[in-house]
Structure 1
Amino acid sequence: MFELPLHAGSGHPNLFWILVPSFLTFLAGLGLGARSERVLEVLRPNDASSSE
């Protein structure tokens, strides 16, 4: 019953190289999500003259 919670991967020899990129990717996703409106404005500017 306790095998699953105990097998968290903490004994993995390259745990650092797994956690750091995962954490950085998570932060990048949060940053893009927080600025998604600004990114969309850059990619698709709302030009009033083009909607005539």
Structure 2
Amino acid sequence: MPWLFRWPESRRGVYWPAPSELIGPWAVAAALIAWTVALFAAAIVLFRGRGI
């Protein structure tokens, strides 16, 4: 959906593509899942042994 998140052109007329045009939707979904797993892993490591 490149039309959904299209950024406006700059004053010099240079087109800057939106992130959704550079990265596929499945890559975004995979990155969000990986980020969530990493956050949970970090929380488990940090709070292990604290009785929380």
Q: TM-score range by the shorter chain?
A: 0.3 to 0.5
Relative to the length of structure 2, the TM-score reads: 0.47
Scaled by the length of structure 1, the TM-score of the pair is: 0.47
Compare relative contact order (CA 8 Å, sep 6+) and give the higher one, 1 or 2: 2
Greater helix proportion: 1
